[in-house]
Every structure is written in C-alpha cells, then in structure tokens.
A and B are shown apart, each in its own frame.
Chain A
C-alpha cells in the first residue's frame, strides 16, 4: 500500500502544471470559449506531452503508464482550468486514430438520461462518440446537426444542442461502454479535485493581499475557517479520487463502482463549495466577470454532471454499501 504519488508521478504532475501555466494562461482558457476560439495547434501541443495517452500502451503510441497516472494528469489540468474535450480525448486515445496526437478532436455524449442532447465542445471536434448501454458508437461531427448555445453557463465550455443522434459506426460493446463511463466519470472527478485546489489557491492569494480594516482579510478567522474548510475538502476529494484511480488499476482491492461514485461526490462538493468560497472571499469583485473566480465555479458545474448526476452517485454508494 502506498497512496502518495511516487517521485515520477510528482514530476509528471509538475510538468503538466508548468505547461498549463505557460501555454494555457487564464487568457488562453477564456479565448478557447469564444466563437471559433478552439486553438488546434495549442491542443496539439498539449497532446504532444503525452497527455491523452498516459495510460495507453506504448505499442499503441501511448506513454504506457497506469490509469492512476491519467487521473493525476487530469487533476493538474483541472487545477488550471485547461479547456477542451480532455476526457473524450483520453478515453478515445489508442482507440481512434489521430486522437492521441491531437490531430483528431473527439467530443462525447453519454446517452441514458432524458432531456436535450447537449454536447460540450462539439463545434471544435471532428468526431462524436456516443455511449449508451449497448456500446460505443462513432460518428463524424459533420454528420450531425445542432444549434450552438448562445450563452453556455461555463463561458469556457461551448455547448451545442444536437437535433438528433446521428447514425454511428459501432466501435465497442457494452463492456467498453461501461469501462468508458467509469473512466470518464473518474477523469471528470479528477478535474473537479484539481478545480477545487485551483480556486482555493486563487482565494488564498487574494485573502493575503486584500486589506480591510487596516489588515489583510485573510487574518480574520471568519475567512480562515472558510479557506481551511476548502483545503480539507480538496484533500478529501484527492484522497477518494486517487483511491478510485488505483482501484481501477488493482480491482482486487475494492469495488470500482463504489470508489468512482464516492470520488464524484467528494470531488463535486469540493469543487463547487470551494469555488463558491472563492467568489465570496473576493467580495464584490468576485461577482464580476473580470475576476476568474466564477470560471472555477461554472466549470465545476459542467464537470459534476458528466457521466452521471450527484444523486445517482449517492444512490450508487448507498446501494453498494448495503449489498456488500
């Protein structure tokens, strides 16, 4: 048992974090959300790091590490709000040619719940992956029609509403669908965990600088306790996300489904609550479009719906505890 990152894993996280700081500044993140703002060359740079193929075997062009390593990478990406179809690209790498090096951009829709056919990052993608209970299907985005949402809730996650599901080529059976739902859920949870750390960092920096009543607002216990709670929620989220990642690699250690549903609950709570705290700590400025606090909150809202709702996750954990 060793549930702390190895030196190699810490170095991997550091590399992704440094790359994101350099090549995905918050200005770049914001620009990705604009009409036609998806920058394919920047996306290819991200892919060239091995980002999407971390856990893909080397003979398939990947880095050949474990799924936990992909989880750590997504946590780092989430902390910097790196935009684009990160989860879809990671799932499809090694399965669909060109995804791993960023030349083919995939988006994904998980069919199962009622409601409109909303797809994130559709307009910037080449292929659409459709997951349902029977399996995984592949379509060209050009073969689907839809209307772009004028005001996506997260300004850095463009959303399109499809008119209907296009005809697909079946690329995987129900086993692949189940595996992708599990892995997709956990990668989104990993980004949520990272998101929660990113908003906490932003809030703490502001609390140290901003002065009221003649001293930094971070010296007041009212804020200290809010921010300490944010840090704790992040550590809880990282703990369950990491444990779930290792459980995918070592299935004998516990229930994968319980670990993944639990990771969603702790990471979604951490991301949404910490981002709310971040807005609150920024005071009136936190209520402005200009300050980045809302970007964390809105991204968290997007991620927490991916591959299953919070209530579904809660019921999954309960049922898996009750039947163990």
Chain B
C-alpha cells in the first residue's frame, strides 16, 4: 500500500496545478447564489476552459470526448481544483456525472453525437427527473406516466428534487411506460428537452434557503420516442448503469468543502472568547474537534481506499453506502459543534463581524442534504445489512 504519488501521478499533479493557477486567476467574480442565468454562464465559462485544456469529462472514456483519466488522476484533479479554489461543477453536475455516462453506456449513436459534446463543453445543462412526491426512498414506485402516441411519448405527472431545473436544457427522466407492471419493471429512461410545452418548473426552496431544486409539473408533454435511452420498460437498469462507473470520487468535492468549514470553525474558536478565555481553551470543545478531525481524516482514507479499489476495476459492495453514512454522520456532528461554538451568533445565517458564522450555520443545515439526498442514511443501512452482511430481507 502507498499514499505517495507514483511518478506519473506526480507529473500529472504538477501539470494540473500549473494549469489551474492561470485558469482560476482568469475567472471573473462568481455570481450570487440565486442568479441562475449568471450561474449558468459562469459555470459554462469554466467548463469551456476545462474542455479546451483537455480536462472536461476527466473520467469519461477518450472515445466519447473525455480524458480517460484513471480514478487516481481524477482524485488528484479534484484535490488540486479545491486547493486552487477552482469553481466546482455547478450546473453541469447532472450532465457530467449521470446523464452523460448513461448515454455513453446505453444511448444510440444519434443520442451520443447530439448530447455528449454539449455536456463536455458546458453548452448543455441537464437536470434529473427521478424522485416524485410519492416516490422517494421507494423510487421504483414512481407514477409519472408516458403513453405511446405515434412517434411521441405523452408524459404527465410530477417530479421533485429536480436540481438546476431552472437552468437546464434537458432532463433525464424516469417514467412509467407500462402501468400494469409494478415497481422496477415498466419504467423507461427518457431524454426530455426542457423547452417542450406542458412543463411547469416551480422552484423548491431548501431549509437553508438555497434555490437549486425545483418541482416539475408535466402535463401531456410530447417527448419523441427517439429520446428513449435503452429499451422501453428497461429504464430501471439504465438508470443504474452509472453505478458501475462509480470510482469513489463522488463525494470528494463535498468532503473538501467540509474540511474547509472545519478549519474555519477551528480558527473561529481560537479567535473568539467566552467567559474570559478563548473557546479553543475549552477542553471539551477541543476534544470534540479532535474526534471530528479524526473522522475527516478517516473519510479521506476511506475515499482513497475506494478510489484504489476503483482503479482495480470496481468498487467493493457497500463501500459507497458506508462512506455516505459515515460522511453524513460527521457532517451532522460538525454542524452540532459549530452551533455550540457559535452560541448566540447562530441566530444569524448571515456572517457576523467578518467571521464565517453564517457559513457555519449553513453547514449544519447542509448536513441534511448528505443524510437525505441520493438515498437516505436508513436506506444505505438497509443496503449494507442485506447486500454486505447478508441479513435476510424484511419481507
């Protein structure tokens, strides 16, 4: 086992670092969080720079326009991007991480040639229409209907947790094409252009006031049958093909952000006083910091294990679920400590006195995004119990 870079990885790291230094410096000031047109063009500008430099689709296969980098190189790229304070993937998230890889694996040649390049250049923004108000953890119970009518599917229903829908050009949709089949059978995967008639996008504001999510109300939206990816009624399998692309890098950006918040909390504790001494002088605070710091280091090591395993061709069953639960637990613990350290300063979600106090309150609320999004902690625990430990199913 090793933690040091191999010779070729060290060269890659220094090339990336060099490029990032110049590229990041050339970016304008980021737009405000709720300025979606501004965010879209900012993210697209950065994505275009990545594309021109050969870093777009870093983990995509080279024959589909990606860089074909190894999982280790991908991790290095993310580490260096964070160190350089480079923009994150932003509105490109769904396209680059999910829709693009799905089309690579299951799309027709026409779908590939129409969509992949636009995702890589940042010209096309995607959103995801999977969850429904009645289908959260039990996603396969989804009820948004798609009737075949000539060369179109006629889609009606409701989607929720559709990230970046306001800014999106396309939506990767799971729809029920066979109402007589229960659950996983009878679902299809569709590419839905967001400018079709019958789509109503209503922003959904999260507990910390952010506006990246939306609800979609779909009223007889006519989606061409040519936009079906994979076979009709085989959409559940199609939606899961991206799992086989998972190489352990999925939460690296979030983990880097959390590590930065943790450092800010330490600095704030050292700079702030209570009862005549700094908060940092309180043993109980410092010990809690130590436990969280140890967990963050363990999460980094866990990530490196998963990436190492990914480099050997595939993740170990449950390792993604286990990482996510542990990460969510640590995020919540960090957030709890932040509120304890902030005390009355936690009454403001805006930063106070030039300190990142508001950001620390945000970080606590954001912890729920990790323990709920992409399969709740409890669903992940079920997956581990049944698929890793081999415990019998409840029913």
Contact = CB atoms under 8 A, between A and B. Distances in A.
Interface of A: 1-6, 9, 68, 204, 207-208, 215-216, 218-221, 223-225, 227-229, 231-232, 235-237, 239-240, 242-243, 245-247, 250, 252-254, 258-259, 261-263, 265-266, 311, 313-322
B287 A314 contact: yes
A303 B322 CA distance: 25
A313 B293 CA distance: 11
B291 interface: yes
Contact of B3 (A204, A223, A247, A320): A247
A239 B3 contact: no
A237 B298 contact: yes
A252 B291 contact: no
Interface stretch (B160-168, B232-240, B361-369, B383-391): B383-391
Contacts of B194: none
B1 A231 contact: no
B325 A232 contact: yes
Interface centre among B299, B301, B384 (most CB of A within 10 A): B301
A221 B44 CA distance: 45
B381 A245 contact: no
Given A3-B305, A235-B322, A266-B298, A228 B389 contact: yes
Given A1-B3, A3-B3, A5-B1, A236 B302 contact: yes
Q: Across chains A and B, which 8 residue pairs bring their CB atoms closest together, nearest first?
A: A314-B290, A224-B385, A262-B294, A243-B301, A239-B301, A317-B290, A318-B290, A228-B381
Given A313-B290, A314-B287, 8 more contacts: A219-B393, A223-B391, A224-B385, A253-B3, A258-B297, A320-B293, A321-B263, A321-B289
A263 to B, nearest CB: 8
Contacts, number: 185
Interface centre among A9, A240, A247 (most CB of B within 10 A): A240
A219 B391 contact: yes
Contact of A221 (B1, B302, B382): B382
A219 B393 CA distance: 5
A223 B266 CA distance: 37
Contact of B389 (A231, A250, A252, A313): A231
Interface in B278-319: 280, 283, 286-291, 293-295, 297-302, 304-305, 307-309, 311-312, 318-319
A237 B298 CA distance: 7
Nearest to B5: A1
B9 interface: yes
11 contacts: A4-B308, A204-B389, A208-B391, A225-B382, A236-B302, A242-B301, A243-B301, A247-B3, A263-B294, A311-B283, A313-B294
Contact of B266 (A235, A253, A321): A321
Contacts of A223: 391
Contacts of A247: 3
A248 to B, nearest CB: 11
A68 B385 contact: no
B1 A240 contact: no
A228 B378 CA distance: 10
Contact of B286 (A221, A227, A243, A318): A318
Interface of B: 1-6, 9, 72, 75, 262-263, 266, 270, 280, 283, 286-291, 293-295, 297-302, 304-305, 307-309, 311-312, 318-319, 322, 325-326, 378, 380-382, 384-386, 388-394
Interface centre among B293, B300, B311, B386 (most CB of A within 10 A): B293
B385 A236 contact: no
Contacts of B301: 3, 239-240, 242-243
Nearest to A5: B1
B117 to A, nearest CB: 31
Contacts of A235: 302, 319, 322, 326
A246 B385 contact: no
Given A218-B391, A243-B297, A318-B289, A228 B311 contact: no
Given A1-B9, A239-B305, A258-B297, A228 B3 contact: no
A223 B299 CA distance: 25
Nearest to B303: A239
A314 B4 contact: no
A240 B294 contact: yes
B290 A240 contact: no
A266 B288 CA distance: 13
Contacts of A313: 290, 294
B263 A243 contact: no
Interface centre among B291, B378, B382, B393 (most CB of A within 10 A): B291
Given A314-B286, A315-B286, A321-B266, A246 B381 contact: no
A196 B287 CA distance: 23
B287 A315 contact: yes
Contacts of A232: 322, 325-326, 384
Nearest to A250: B4
B381 A220 contact: no
A247 B304 CA distance: 13
B392 A4 contact: no
Nearest to B386: A224
A3 B138 CA distance: 35
Given A1-B5, A239-B298, A242-B305, A228 B325 contact: yes
B315 to A, nearest CB: 11
Given A3-B3, A240-B301, A243-B304, A314 B294 contact: yes
A317 B381 contact: no
A2 B311 contact: yes
Nearest to A266: B298
Contacts of B75: 1
Contacts of A239: 298-299, 301-302, 304-305
B291 A265 contact: yes
A246 B302 contact: no
